[in-house]
Structure 1
Amino acid sequence: MTDDEVVEALRVVASAGTLPPPATPEAVTSAEEVIGFSLPPLLRRLYVEVANGGFGPRQGILGVRGGAAQGNFADIADLYQDGPDPSGRIPAGLVLIYDWGCTIWSLVDFRDPAGDMWCNHEGACWPQGVNLAEWLTGTLAGTLTVETLLESQPTS
């Protein structure tokens, strides 16, 4: 799917009224300032044009300030605030966006405009081999699951 097709597909989901309203441009800018990287363009569009998080798998991705939370996690900047990862296992610019449970996270690479997706589990961090558009398309179709994420983990 193209970015426009992803935006339109998520607009259909948003029209059901189950997602938070879109983020303000100021909330997005504030998150970028905390994180130190610009949001990938598709993620920015989704937050500002469709909904402030809540879309994607199950209960949906985290939003920026005022958007969808997940458990104790308020927003993507809140998670990133203390630094990308004190252990050094998660490179700067990778932003936690979705908690699958059992310490399994999907992350978006803010260093890349395509928003390459990464996975973090039990101290290991690896690329998922898909970008944000492909990740969202897979979660909408039900073809991208926590099991497929763990299957992509490199063996060492």
Structure 2
Amino acid sequence: MGDEVVEAVRNRAATGSLPGPATLAAVTEAEQNIGFPLPPLLRRLYLEVANGGFGPAEGILGVSGGASQGDWNDLAEIYQEGPDPSGQIPAGLVPVYDWGCTIWSLVDFRDPAGPMWCTHEGDCWPQGINLAEWLVETMAGTLTVDDLLSTQPTTH
């Protein structure tokens, strides 16, 4: 599925709506600051196609010099400062997309497949899909914030 995702993002980049590819130095710096390697698909997208901006709506964060989102300039910055001051997000889960209303999609950098997680109001839970699936579904508009929240575990 990785090649199909790369091609879909490449087609979107051809419209001129995405930033150019990241530099190897920016990707390496992000990996060093985060303390985990980027999942191979994400690394490939950043280096070969676009430095963020792809995915749902305005797209995911890039590494240094790429797409920003709100007050966040890049993945390493948000990972270090974090959208969750409660510390409930495990190490290696990197926020990549802000849905609004304190709802974030995160990529698990501890696993090369890049499993996706969601965080909202102090809860953090796995989505049961990987980065490739998440990108395909969000770019097609078939995965929405309501879908993410429907998988949120109930807390008592």
TM value normalised by structure 2:
0.96
Contact 2:107 2:115 in 1 (8 A): yes
Instruction: Name the counterpart of 1:118.
Output: 117
Instruction: Name the counterpart of 1:94.
Output: 93
Instruction: Name the counterpart of 1:155.
Output: 154
Identical-pair percentage: 73
CA distance in 1, matches of 2:8, 2:79: 28
Provide closer, same or farther for how the CA distance between residues 113 and 84 of structure 1 changes in structure 2, counting only shifts above 3 A: farther
Q: CA deviation at 1:86?
A: 5.2
With 79-88 and 25-34 compared, the bigger mean Cα shift is at 79-88
CA distance in 1, matches of 2:82, 2:65: 21
CA distance in 2, matches of 1:29, 1:84: 23
Q: CA deviation at 1:155?
A: 1.7
Which runs of 5 or more structure 1 residues have no equivalent in the other structure?
Answer: none
After superposition, where does 1:69-88 map in structure 2 within 5 Å?
69-82=68-81, 87-88=86-87
Instruction: Name the counterpart of 1:54.
Output: 53
Aligned residue for 2:128, secondary structure, equals strand
Q: CA deviation at 1:81?
A: 1.9
CA distance in 1, matches of 2:32, 2:85: 19
Q: CA deviation at 1:84?
A: 8.8
Structure 1 position 104 matched with structure 2 position 103: yes
Structure 1 position 44 matched with structure 2 position 33: no
The root-mean-square deviation of aligned C-alpha atoms, in Å, is 1.2
Write out the 4+ residue segments of structure 1 that deviate beyond 6 Å after TM superposition: none
Contact 1:84 1:92 in 2 (8 A): no
Contact 1:19 1:54 in 2 (8 A): yes
Which runs of 5 or more structure 2 residues have no equivalent in the other structure?
Answer: none
Q: CA deviation at 1:8?
A: 0.4
